Every structure is written in structure tokens, then in C-alpha cells.
Amino acid sequence: MSSRNDRAINGPSWTEVTIGALLSVGIGILLAGAWLTLKPVEKVRSLPDEPKLGLVYYIEGALNGSIGRAWERKTQLFETGVPVGLVEQELNEAARQLSSDAQKAKGKDAKDGTITPGQLNFRISDGELQVPLPWL
């Protein structure tokens, strides 16, 4: 009996089924990632009472320079072994300062056409830390 007739009688092998399933899962992951990446995002200060269906809302973390400057002192305390608590203003100020320091250090070495991420923005909501990385 030829292999063609054998396949018609018995169906595909387990190897073929496994490869087909893995390819389907991989294609599904790629399509889901593309769909989530291309969804429109609206920047708001707080969630609206009636959110629009299919729209993703982005709420920025709080920025306050006077509160945020305490992160340098808390960094020193943390290095000595003292437990510290941070608020989102301190995290955002630290990210802003470290980002500007890195840009100054990079200086004219930056190549044209490179994609650089935006500044990290920390937000604490309901006891959960949210860290979006905007791409600009």
C-alpha cells in the first residue's frame, strides 16, 4: 500500500497535528499582539463615568516636584539597609531625572533613525504598581 492511501485511511500523524497546533498558536499570538498594539489609546486624568466600548484609557501617574525630590534621600536610606516606602511622585521624579541624565551622557553619540522609548511613568492604583513605557 502506498503512503498516500495510508494517509487517506488513517488521517494525519501526531507529528503533523502537533506542528499544525503550534503554528496556529504562534499565528494567534502574533495577530493578538498586533491587534493590541494598534488599538487607539486616549490619555485621560481619570476614568469617565461611561467608558466608550473598544477604547483603551491611559491615566498618567502623578507628578509633583516637591514631593518627588525625596527619592534621593530614600535611595541613601535604602542603601544603608533601612526599609523605605515610595510614592508615585518620587518614582516619576526619579525616572525623569535618570532619563535626562542618560540623554545628557549619550549626547551626540545618538544615531539617526534609532527608536528610543519615552519616559517611564509610574502609577499606583488600588495597591498595584503600573509601569507603562510609551514609545515616542
Q: What is the pLDDT of residues 39-91, one digit of tens each?
A: 878 888 888 888 888 788 888 777 776 776 777 788 888 888 888 888 888 88
Does 75 share its domain with 18? no
Burial letters 17-51, b for 16+ CB under 10 A, else e: eeeeeeeeeeeeeeeeeeeeeeeeeeeeeeeeeee
Number of structural domains in the chain: 2
CA distance 51 to 41: 12
Domain coverage including residue 26: 1-38
- Angle, CA of 91, 96 and 98, to the nearest 5°: 95
25 with 69, same domain: the answer is no
34 and 46, same domain (yes or no): no
Q: What is the pTM of this model?
A: 0.55
Among 104, 98, 101, smallest CA distance to 120 is for 98
- 105 and 133 together in one domain: yes
Range from 31-35, 61-65, 102-106, 111-115 that averages highest in pLDDT:
31-35
Residues 10 and 55 in one domain: no
If one compares 107 and 75, the residue with the highest pLDDT of the two is 75
* Cell numbers linked to 123: 502609577
The count of other CB atoms within 10 Å of the CB of residue 93 is: 22
Please say if the pLDDT value at position 109 is more than 60.
no
